[in-house]
Structure 1
Amino acid sequence: MKDDERSIQILKCHDDHAPVCFSINNEGTEGIPSFKLEEGSHCPWVKKEDQFGPDKLRSRIEPWLTALFQSEHLSVLVGSGLTQGLHQMAAGEQLSGMNEATFGIFDKEINTKAKDSAISAGRTKINIEDQIRVSNELLRGLEVLASTKSTDSKEYEDVATLQQALTSVLDDFTKSILKGENGLISAEIEKREKAFNYLVSFLMSFASRSGTRDRLHIFTTNYDRCIEAGADVAGLRLIDRFVGTLVPIFRSSRLDVDMHYNPPGIRGEPRYLEGVARFTKLHGSVDWIDYNKNIQRIGLPFGAEEIDPYLNAPGLKDANALQLMIYPNASKDRETASYPYVELFRDLAAAICRPNSTLICYGYSFGDEHINRVIEDMLTIPSAHLVIISYGDPLGRIMYTYEKLGRPAQITLLIGDHLGDFQTLVDHYLPKPAIDRTTFRMAELLKARWGTVQNDEDAKTPKPTPEGDTVQ
């Protein structure tokens, strides 16, 4: 294997004082990789000249993540890396990125301002989200200019032309999102089932929490509905801000609605129902529209080829792609003050900025400053912990954020095309996706009958108890 940037793995967990860098040295027997420390990288758990495999990594990573996943408050922030990993597993190819769009009017001005925005966010190239945000600002300015002009003026014509262009761009963007869903749902049945099985295991690794713990809260910056599809397959009930069955409406009133059940023979002592999580889409969704002064979720099938037929449904007269609630990345905080995104970002801050809270970031590139600021505030609480899992860091934003935060003891890193690979992560490093007391009872029985043999390193590893706490 070539020693390129993607072959470098970065691990920092447990008692590591600094990130440990290692690379895939060669492919071992039966395709099992072998690793070797990079020059200049030192760690106490492996010698510089030694080679090691996934088993060595698992003995450090899995117990550590198991302990963190049973924190009092657990949240997961999912970025586009999850969709990319699923699509690669099911369809065998990567999804196309968010490429630039052409408006046909004010393209030079839009792209110039969008480039400034991209640079301020740490990116060298603009994407369609930058362009959508700038074009929305331009449209509002043109509407102000045209408000005092006649209907046949150039200003009025520019408003109509830009509205039409923006609607077309949003429609094309929506199709690209739905194309990703369609690629997953229309893949070969064996590959599709494999992808969904891994997605279920991924979600349940986080959601498998005992009833004495606070609910898992899933956040995502994605517009697609892969997480919702995986939750449906897993039987995981998602609680969000939408209320209603036929026409779900976004509600600002945040009540701690939950799901309980009454155990047989017990009165007045309801218990939390297992398999429930809270869910927030920070940047909106492909099936959210702003219509009739409400944010509605429309009945858009997963993997539909286009959205127009479902916008023409009864009750959505004259609705179009311009009313889709798709939130462009913001480099200015004033944009997060618009409805409904202010409610969503408040949910993020309220969920993670608490004592004994753990936030898992998977596939998130740390390109949204308004989210990064909340994470930075979270780490001012000494008992809070951040886990970053990523397939790579091509722009260096993850390691830049790690250095900027300056709290290494509160941060765990798993970065690289091995540690951050979706399938490898589920197979080797995530905790068992089940609330399974039988496993603990079996371990206790084996220990009572024959004893257990542990090496010095395993003896130092915190072990989870049936209630999710750890013991030394």
Structure 2
Amino acid sequence: MEWKAHGYRVGSSSETFAAIPTDADELDRFVTLHRRKIEPWLAAVFQAEHLNLLLGSGFTTAVAFAAGVSATGMDTAGGTSSYAPAIMDHATESAKKMGRGKANIEDQLRSAIAVLDGLNIIDKVAAKAVRDDINKAMDAFLYSLLATEQGIADAESVPASAMLQSFLLSFASRAASRERLHIFTTNYDRLIERGCDDAGLRIIDRFVGTLRPLFRNTRIELDYHYNPPGIRGEPRFMEGVVRLTKLHGSLDWRFDDITRRIYRAETPFGAPQDHPSLPTSPVDTVMIYPNPAKDVETTQYPYAELFRDFASAICRPNSVVVTYGYGFGDDHINRVLLDMLSVPSAHLVIIAFDLDDRIKGFLDQTRPAQVSLLAGGHFGSLQRLVEDYLPKPALDYITGRMSELLKNRAFAEIPAAPQPATGLGTDQASKLGSIA
């Protein structure tokens, strides 16, 4: 099928559109027609035994757009060291190999850190110049992330906050007896944490502690329970609990050289540049993702633990992964997704604002029956998804009870069928009925 600007593929329904109606009445009819195909399918998919949500940088961009602020860019930074041109050339080459096309700040940082590791052995003076370039680039990137957080926090846009909460609740509002939603993200910001806090969702991750949460390697299946009133010894699972794994780290992760442990710093959401929790040398302390090569990051701490969580969560029967804002430019993540799809009962839902060559290249390696797709400016819009196409699992119980009630009332309100005329009296007719 030739794909146009907008379209979807859910179950046996598949439609593409060159343009979306602009007239309000026509747009309402368009949405109503296609919601009948998309929403029930997604509602059924979301009830899978294992539900996972993978969010990329497009998620932050969408929320920032709704709040009317600019999102963090991934553009490369300039450098003054003599190795800067070679670093940029290597970053561009590695980006092409990954199918990313144009190099971004991550590609540049990976190449620069690879050069820094070598120069630390053979030339300390040159290493200092490269280190200074890396620190400047990471400083700018870090401050840009914080500025985006601050812009979203300061934006007087109640719909943006409500949209963020509704999006997360559409996935997290599962029955407590089902396995928890597991959110994975490649983002470094704390937008997911902010949305969960506002929505009242409790997060379970690998960090343990209150004053100085430490990253733990143990994989104990921690969860939240409560004791129902009047019942002792029979704890029940709480609703509104999610698991969170930040695959590439976070801007508030730090590495303690003395204890050799990773901890989460008390960096406020959208902290100013002079906040004391921010590092003076990000290349040494900020645990955001710059590794020499993406194919070896699973052998380094803490990414080995994070990617083991990712693979073990999705590569199993009856598993569903929903991606939003993820551009399929990370080979190490794509490889795990393809391994997941080798399980016949697994399913992948891709929601993208644009169906570019990277997504098409990934789709060419999959079986269409295992992949649902919503793409284009209309179906990939966060606002449109929340308002029209994403299911509201929190309302499923009420809707089910209402349907059952209406069905019972319909039977109760059917008038009794009239008795046929027999020419007999009432007493005679009742006697005949009793004999029969």
TM-aligned CA deviation for residue 330 of structure 1 = 7.3
Alpha-carbon distance in structure 2 between the residues aligned to 1:128 and 1:418:
29
- Structure-2 residue corresponding to 1:280: 245
Alpha-carbon distance in structure 2 between the residues aligned to 1:441 and 1:184:
38
Q: Indicate yes or no: 2:364 matched with 1:403.
A: yes
- Structure-1 residue corresponding to 2:149: 181
- Structure-1 residue corresponding to 2:301: 339
Number of equivalences: 406
Q: Indicate yes or no: 2:50 matched with 1:33.
A: no
Alpha-carbon distance in structure 2 between the residues aligned to 1:432 and 1:182:
29
Aligned residue runs from structure 1 range 69-468, under 5 A: 69-91=46-68, 93-105=69-81, 106-145=83-122, 155-187=123-155, 189=156, 191=157, 193-292=158-257, 293-306=260-273, 309-311=276-278, 320=282, 322-328=284-290, 332-393=294-355, 395-405=356-366, 407-434=367-394, 436-450=396-410
Provide, for residues 182-216 of structure 1, a one-character-per-residue CA deviation record: whole Å limited to 9, x for no partner.
111111x2x1x211101111001001111221110
Alpha-carbon distance in structure 2 between the residues aligned to 1:311 and 1:244:
20
Provide, for residues 30-81 of structure 1, a one-character-per-residue CA deviation record: whole Å limited to 9, x for no partner.
5x538xxxxxxxxxxxxxxxxx601111001111111111100000000111
Alpha-carbon distance in structure 2 between the residues aligned to 1:94 and 1:128:
17
TM-aligned CA deviation for residue 121 of structure 1 = 1.3
Letter in 2 for 1:340: P
Alpha-carbon distance in structure 2 between the residues aligned to 1:198 and 1:69:
19
Deviates more, 1:94-103 or 1:407-416: 94-103
Assess if the C-alpha contact under 8 Å between 2:21 and 2:30 holds in 1. no
Alpha-carbon distance in structure 2 between the residues aligned to 1:286 and 1:272:
31
Letter in 2 for 1:27: T
| TM-score normalised by the chain length of structure 2 | 0.89
Assess if the C-alpha contact under 8 Å between 1:379 and 1:410 holds in 2. yes
| Counterpart selection for 2:18 from 13, 18, 23 | 23
Assess if the C-alpha contact under 8 Å between 1:206 and 1:216 holds in 2. yes
TM-aligned CA deviation for residue 162 of structure 1 = 1.6
Alpha-carbon distance in structure 1 between the residues aligned to 2:291 and 2:12:
35
Structure 1's 176 and 118: CA in aligned 2 closer, same or farther, altered over 3 A?
same
- Structure-2 residue corresponding to 1:12: 9
TM-aligned CA deviation for residue 96 of structure 1 = 4.8
Deviates more, 1:297-306 or 1:408-417: 297-306
Letter in 2 for 1:139: L
Could you say what secondary structure the match of 1:27 adopts? coil
Structure 1's 323 and 307: CA in aligned 2 closer, same or farther, altered over 3 A?
farther
Letter in 1 for 2:213: P
Could you say what secondary structure the match of 2:231 adopts? coil
- Structure-2 residue corresponding to 1:459: none
Alpha-carbon distance in structure 2 between the residues aligned to 1:329 and 1:205:
34
Letter in 2 for 1:424: R
Alpha-carbon distance in structure 1 between the residues aligned to 2:395 and 2:227:
19
Alpha-carbon distance in structure 2 between the residues aligned to 1:172 and 1:342:
27
Identity among equivalent pairs (%): 48
Assess if the C-alpha contact under 8 Å between 1:236 and 1:275 holds in 2. yes
Alpha-carbon distance in structure 1 between the residues aligned to 2:324 and 2:75:
22
Letter in 1 for 2:207: F
TM-aligned CA deviation for residue 319 of structure 1 = 6.1
Structure 1's 319 and 243: CA in aligned 2 closer, same or farther, altered over 3 A?
farther
Provide, for residues 118-151 of structure 1, a one-character-per-residue CA deviation record: whole Å limited to 9, x for no partner.
1011122111111100111101111121xxxxxx
TM-aligned CA deviation for residue 396 of structure 1 = 1.6
Letter in 2 for 1:351: A
Provide, for residues 227-253 of structure 1, a one-character-per-residue CA deviation record: whole Å limited to 9, x for no partner.
100000000001000011111111111
Assess if the C-alpha contact under 8 Å between 2:322 and 2:349 holds in 1. yes
Letter in 1 for 2:224: M
Alpha-carbon distance in structure 2 between the residues aligned to 1:156 and 1:27:
62
* Bigger Cα Rg: 2
Could you say what secondary structure the match of 1:116 adopts? helix
TM-aligned CA deviation for residue 110 of structure 1 = 0.2
Letter in 2 for 1:8: A
Could you say what secondary structure the match of 1:246 adopts? coil
Assess if the C-alpha contact under 8 Å between 2:347 and 2:371 holds in 1. yes
Assess if the C-alpha contact under 8 Å between 1:329 and 1:368 holds in 2. no
Assess if the C-alpha contact under 8 Å between 2:109 and 2:134 holds in 1. yes
Could you say what secondary structure the match of 1:75 adopts? strand
Provide, for residues 307-337 of structure 1, a one-character-per-residue CA deviation record: whole Å limited to 9, x for no partner.
652137xxxxx76453101113875411221
Letter in 2 for 1:180: T
Assess if the C-alpha contact under 8 Å between 2:91 and 2:107 holds in 1. yes
Could you say what secondary structure the match of 1:310 adopts? coil
Structure 1's 199 and 71: CA in aligned 2 closer, same or farther, altered over 3 A?
same
Could you say what secondary structure the match of 2:388 adopts? helix
Could you say what secondary structure the match of 2:349 adopts? strand
Provide, for residues 83-124 of structure 1, a one-character-per-residue CA deviation record: whole Å limited to 9, x for no partner.
111111111x54252111112111111011101111011122
Provide, for residues 10-36 of structure 1, a one-character-per-residue CA deviation record: whole Å limited to 9, x for no partner.
2110224xx532132532235x538xx
- Structure-1 residue corresponding to 2:421: none
Alpha-carbon distance in structure 1 between the residues aligned to 2:149 and 2:249:
16
Structure 1's 180 and 330: CA in aligned 2 closer, same or farther, altered over 3 A?
farther
| TM-score normalised by the chain length of structure 1 | 0.82
Assess if the C-alpha contact under 8 Å between 1:166 and 1:322 holds in 2. no
Could you say what secondary structure the match of 1:33 adopts? helix
Alpha-carbon distance in structure 2 between the residues aligned to 1:202 and 1:311:
30
Letter in 1 for 2:16: C
Assess if the C-alpha contact under 8 Å between 1:74 and 1:359 holds in 2. yes
Quote the RMSD (CA, aligned, Å): 1.9
Assess if the C-alpha contact under 8 Å between 1:71 and 1:358 holds in 2. yes
Alpha-carbon distance in structure 2 between the residues aligned to 1:138 and 1:331:
12
- Structure-2 residue corresponding to 1:57: 34
Alpha-carbon distance in structure 2 between the residues aligned to 1:321 and 1:433:
43
- Structure-2 residue corresponding to 1:460: none
